[in-house]
A and B are shown apart, each in its own frame.
Chain A
């Protein structure tokens, strides 16, 4: 059956097309805001989950304060005591110039014992260094500078005279944003090469502890704090001790917070839209008091009057929400492309579910704002309604 009350609502919306349209535009904007912000948050989280989750097992000890502070050999030995069976990786790090053919650029140079390197840096190609003139490079340098296994690269500055040619023996797998060590665009040399080339001896820039069992991490962190920082107040601690798992969680919490905040702003937009729909519906009721009186006097039940007004709110809400949802796919894609800079996850369920969620929230908002006006209309006294002009 083509519901007569639906017909009446459609005709009323058509008569007051402009104001119904304006109310629907409010809903469109609200749905776009909520859905595209939800998608942005979801895409960010999906991206980070993939990029970060691989190394949630590492504790990092770094010296605090000025650039020339370091972790001494003695401290490394004490850390080893606390770490027990877990692998302790002392790391040298600095920026330096590298050259390949005629190309020159800056990159991080790390010095790590090759035995330890094996434990946490998997290769996609080649082998771990067999001598001190062998280095590993990050996968990012392969795509960026076209360096391969067997390529000869120069480390250091030719003008200062301190420059050495080394051979790339292996390519480190892409690791993304990792807390322990950025390797995608780095050169990983042996410990001995680094000590010789930069005249270093046992003053490390960072020490990583790779936990065999992530459950032990909190206890190890507590013990390291006691040992290295002697439980000092945070501002005069000598070392920063972090673990990648809790950093990951902090970041994810922050993103969650940011996207709920932005979605809350979307919700405010929707609230404004709800008020405008409420307004339109109240206007519709007030203008049609007499018509409601007629409808009631010739046998229309209260519930049917309510239906008529709720249809009207639903019509506005559904058209606004559906248009909003379609546009939010476009807007969402733009926001994700601009903010997250990675659209691989856009079509995933976690991301696209914000589109139907937006429709439902938008529609629910409209129906909720239509309830009171509909109730008002249905409870008008038929005699008084008929008498009104």
Chain B
């Protein structure tokens, strides 16, 4: 499994042009992630963690430098292709869960697969995934605001997995949860990683970072260790 590079950054810069001068959010970052790795990104506030994760999630493109996601050079793709790459290769897990409020838990999980296949899911995969994260069929009929934080994050994990992505990106996945629920979520991520899923996770909690194989520390837009 290992040796296959799913993420490759070479001298990546992200510069925001502001009225009072440029903000260099990423200052020449080079990084490679092998398939099946579990990486934690740490660093003080404003060090560029979210910016880096947004580049990996192709929500944003670098100002300069090369960024390859599963072999695709993101600078060569138009918005539609970037979106499809994101849809098919990336699973996103956010600190604030970010479920769609008008859809039920089940529909939230099903949604990315509808985007991909252009039809409703009839394989039962959405229910299977929900079950595997501990959400019953009955719960799955509820909308996000009827679920607890922990339940919402489980639904979000199921949603991130529905299109069988190469990479799972997690931005402070336990940041809005109590410590017990947080640990359950981390156990789930560890299990996913054990079954071969590549994970990149931003956190400022070193206990959480301990779950990862490797920790990268950012400061002022550079990797310092």
Residues on A facing B (Cβ under 8 Å)? 1-2, 4, 7-8, 11-12, 15, 290-291, 294-304, 382-383, 386
Contacts and interface: CB of A to CB of B under 8 A. Distances in A.
A58 B138 CA distance: 85
Q: Which interface class (under 10, 10 to 19, 20 to 34, 35 or more) fits B?
A: 20 to 34
A66 to B, nearest CB: 80
A383 B60 CA distance: 7
B84 A386 contact: no
B159 to A, nearest CB: 7
Contacts of A298: 86-87, 92, 111-112, 115, 159
Contact of B111 (A1, A4, A382): A4
B2 interface: no
Contacts, number: 68
B102 A294 contact: no
Interface stretch (B3-11, B64-72, B116-124, B208-216): B116-124
B142 to A, nearest CB: 14
A303 B80 CA distance: 9
Contacts of B120: 1-2
A297 B84 contact: no
Interface of B: 54, 57, 59-60, 79-80, 83-84, 86-88, 90, 92, 94, 98-103, 107, 111-112, 114-116, 118-120, 159, 163
B59 A386 contact: yes
A291 B120 CA distance: 21
Interface centre among B84, B88, B115, by most A CB within 10 Å?
Answer: B115
B79 A297 contact: no
The 10 closest A-B pairs by CB, nearest first: A299-B87, A11-B102, A294-B98, A382-B59, A4-B114, A301-B83, A299-B86, A1-B119, A299-B115, A383-B59
A12 B102 contact: yes
A291 to B, nearest CB: 6
A329 B59 CA distance: 52
A299 B84 contact: yes
B101 A291 contact: yes
A298 B87 CA distance: 6
B191 to A, nearest CB: 22
A299 B114 contact: no
Nearest to A2: B120
B102 A297 contact: no
A302 B102 contact: no
Contacts of A12: 102
A15 B102 contact: yes
A291 B100 contact: yes
